[in-house]
Every structure is written in C-alpha cells, then in structure tokens.
C-alpha cells in the first residue's frame, strides 16, 4: 500500500540521484562551466598573442607573448582609470548609503499620510529608466558646468539609485522593533543619535551587501559616464577598456592589447567576487526578496 512505497523511497532517496544519473550530473556541470568560462578563455587567449597572429581564436596562440600585458601596465590610462573608478564608486556608495539610510529611517518611523505618500512616490521613481532622462540630464549638467567632474557624475548616479536604496533600507528598518527608538528617546538621545548609534549598527550586515551592490553598479556603469566623462584623464576603467576595443576610422585595431587591458581590468573584480561571494550572493537575494 501507500505506506510501503513511502518506506521504500524516503525523502533522501527522492533527492539523491542513482549512479547513472550522477555521471550525467557531472557531465552537465562540466559543460555548463565550460559554457560560462568560454568568453574568459577567448579574452585570455587573445591577450597572449601577437597582433600578427591570425590563427583560429579557438586554439592556443601560435607564439606566446607578454608584451600586451607589459604595454597595458605601462600605459597610464589604465592606472588612471582604476583611480577614477575607485573614487567614483566610493563617492556613489557614501552618498547613497548615508542619505538613503537616513531618509529610509525617517520615512519608516514617521508614519502618517505624508510618509506613506513619499514612500509610494519613491517606488514610482524607481521605475524611471535613467536613459529616458538623457537629454534633460545632459543639458542640466552642461548648464551647471558639471561635465567631466567625477563628483557630479557620482551625485547623478547616486540620485538614480537612491530610490532603490531607500526602498531596500525601509523594508529592513520596519522589522527593527520601535521599542529600541523609544528606549533611546527616554534616555535622552536625539533622533540623529538614535539613528547612528542604535539603528545603524543593526543594519550593518545589510549595509555591507548594499554597498557591494552599489559599488559593482558604479564600477560597471557605462552609458552616463561615457557622455559625462569625455576627458581622457577622467575616464573610468570601463571607459578605458571600451576605448581600447574601439576602432577609429582608418586606424588599425590592436585586439590583443585590448584583451590584455580587459583582463587586467577584470582581475580585481573577479578576485573581489571570489573573496566576497557570500556577501554578493546574499546581498543580491536580500535586495529582491524583501
């Protein structure tokens, strides 16, 4: 009867594959990993070639060379790019987290019609695609001399992401008991002090993941930086690498050098990803599941 079947097939067996299936699982796993590492392989493979090496890109280089990497490291563009990207990402992080966190705290705790309206307004703002504002933003930045200023771009990026950060923080602050605030108020702490000394420590783990996500977004941001940072000395890493791949009319493209620059630019990102995988993966989940 039904009970016998259940005894024969416990939940452990239900989830555990048999031997044939297990081999299949490994085959699929290897294929998936290969599919996902292919672009990295193509990039690295190109980066060790001479420009004149036109053998199929699928196979290893005819003759290996490190010249491209030496050139990538000695060109000041990439180094400058790293510096600019770092400054830019840090500025976006600070502005977005401090202002977004404060605002979220205020809105979550104030209650009443005004706060609810502002929160709904905020969710609507989240839907605005930033490029639909391109003309408006660009002419605003030009009029106020904010082109080629990293801080101005950082403010703009933070403004675009602000509603998301506020939404994210609000959902966490709501789950912190109000008693904590009240106890602090009775002890004579002001609102700002309550936020920085009582609430913010509670938000530490979510802040770490949020910071990582904002930093990744800023680091990889392309559209707005490409229009607002036209000066080469202000270029971010992504802009520098993009330029290396770009063929100007009449110029000869140096694909191996571009790939080497690309590899160097990706190295810190991938290292950080492996080191911080726990936070990154959980952070992504937190931000959507709330």
Partner 1 sequence: MEKRRKRILLSLSIPAFLLIFIFMIIPLGNALRVSLFKWNGFSQNMKFIGLENYLSLFTDDVFWRSTLNTFVYGFGSTLLQNIFGLSAALFVNKQFRGRNFVRLILYMPIMISGVIMGAIQYYIFNFDNGVLNNMLNLFGIENIYWMKTGVSSVLIITLINSWQTMGFCMLIYLAGLQNIPKMYEEAALLDGASKRQIFFKVDVPLLIPAITTAVITNLIGGLKLYDIIVTLTNGGPNRKSLSLSYYISLLYFNDEKAGYSSAVGIALFVIIFLVAVPINRYLRSKEVEY
Q: Which of residues 160-189 bind partner 1 (CB under 8 A)?
A: 160, 162-163, 166, 185
The answer to whether 196 contacts partner 1 (rule: CB under 8 A) is no
From candidates 4, 39, 52, 252, binder to partner 1 by CB under 8 A: 39
Q: Least distance from C-beta 244 to partner 1, angstroms? A: 9
For the chain, how many residues are written? 290
Helices marked H in 174-203: 179-186, 191-194, 200-202
Q: Are 212 and 279 in contact (CB under 8 A)?
A: yes
Determine the Cα–Cα distance for residues 251 and 167; give it in Å rounded to an integer: 48
The answer to whether 60 contacts partner 1 (rule: CB under 8 A) is no
The answer to whether 4 contacts partner 1 (rule: CB under 8 A) is no
Determine the Cα–Cα distance for residues 193 and 196; give it in Å rounded to an integer: 5
The answer to whether 37 contacts partner 1 (rule: CB under 8 A) is yes
Q: Least distance from C-beta 204 to partner 1, angstroms? A: 19
The residue whose two tokens read 């509603």 is: 163
Residue among 215 and 234 whose Cβ is closer to partner 1: 215
Q: Which of residues 142-161 bind partner 1 (CB under 8 A)?
A: 142, 155-156, 158-160
Determine the Cα–Cα distance for residues 126 and 128; give it in Å rounded to an integer: 6
Q: Least distance from C-beta 241 to partner 1, angstroms? A: 6
The answer to whether 227 contacts partner 1 (rule: CB under 8 A) is yes
Burial of 165 (0-12, 13-18, 19+ CB in 10 A): buried
Maximal C-alpha separation, the chain:
80
Residue among 109 and 210 whose Cβ is closer to partner 1: 109
The answer to whether 42 contacts partner 1 (rule: CB under 8 A) is yes
From candidates 4, 136, 251, 252, binder to partner 1 by CB under 8 A: 136
DSSP 247: -
Determine the Cα–Cα distance for residues 142 and 147; give it in Å rounded to an integer: 6
Rounded alpha-carbon distances, angstroms, from residue 192 to 65, 101, 182, 185, 195:
58, 12, 13, 11, 5
Q: Mask of contacts with partner 1, 103-122, x by CB under 8 A?
A: xxxxx-xxxx-xx--x----
Q: Least distance from C-beta 217 to partner 1, angstroms? A: 10
Q: Least distance from C-beta 206 to partner 1, angstroms? A: 16
From candidates 50, 69, 82, 138, binder to partner 1 by CB under 8 A: 138
* Cβ-Cβ contacts under 8 Å for 45 (sequence gap 6 or more): 57, 60, 61
Q: Least distance from C-beta 285 to partner 1, angstroms? A: 5
Report how many residues bind partner 1 under the rule CB under 8 A: 100
The answer to whether 270 contacts partner 1 (rule: CB under 8 A) is yes
């Amino acid at each position: 009867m039904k009970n016998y079947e259940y005894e024969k097939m416990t939940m452990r067996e239900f989830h555990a594959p048999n031997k044939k299936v297990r081999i299949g699982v490994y085959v699929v796993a290897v294929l998936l990993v290969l599919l996902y590492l292919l672009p990295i392989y193509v990039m690295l493979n190109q980066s060790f070639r001479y420009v004149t090496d036109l053998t199929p890109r699928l196979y290893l280089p005819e003759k290996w060379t490190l010249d491209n990497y030496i050139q990538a490291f000695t060109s000041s563009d990439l180094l400058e790019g790293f510096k600019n990207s770092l400054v830019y990402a840090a500025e976006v992080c600070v502005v977005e987290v401090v202002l977004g966190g404060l605002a979220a705290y205020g809105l979550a705790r104030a209650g009443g019609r005004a706060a609810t309206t502002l929160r709904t307004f905020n969710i609507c703002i989240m839907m605005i695609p930033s490029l639909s504002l391109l003309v408006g933003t660009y002419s605003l930045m030009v009029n106020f001399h904010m082109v080629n200023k990293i801080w101005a771009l950082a403010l703009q990026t933070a403004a675009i992401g602000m509603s998301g950060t506020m939404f994210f923080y609000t959902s966490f602050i709501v789950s912190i008991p109000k008693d904590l605030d009240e106890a602090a108020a009775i002890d004579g702490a002001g609102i700002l002090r309550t936020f920085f000394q009582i609430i913010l420590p509670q938000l530490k783990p979510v802040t770490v993941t949020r910071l990582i996500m904002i930093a990744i977004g800023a680091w990889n941001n392309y559209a707005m930086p490409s229009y607002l940072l036209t000066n080469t000395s202000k270029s971010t890493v992504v802009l520098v690498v993009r330029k290396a791949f770009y063929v100007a009319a009449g110029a000869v493209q140096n694909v191996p050098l571009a790939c080497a620059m690309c590899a160097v630019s990706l190295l810190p990102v991938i290292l950080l990803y492996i080191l911080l995988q726990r936070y990154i993966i959980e952070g992504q989940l937190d931000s959507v599941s709330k």
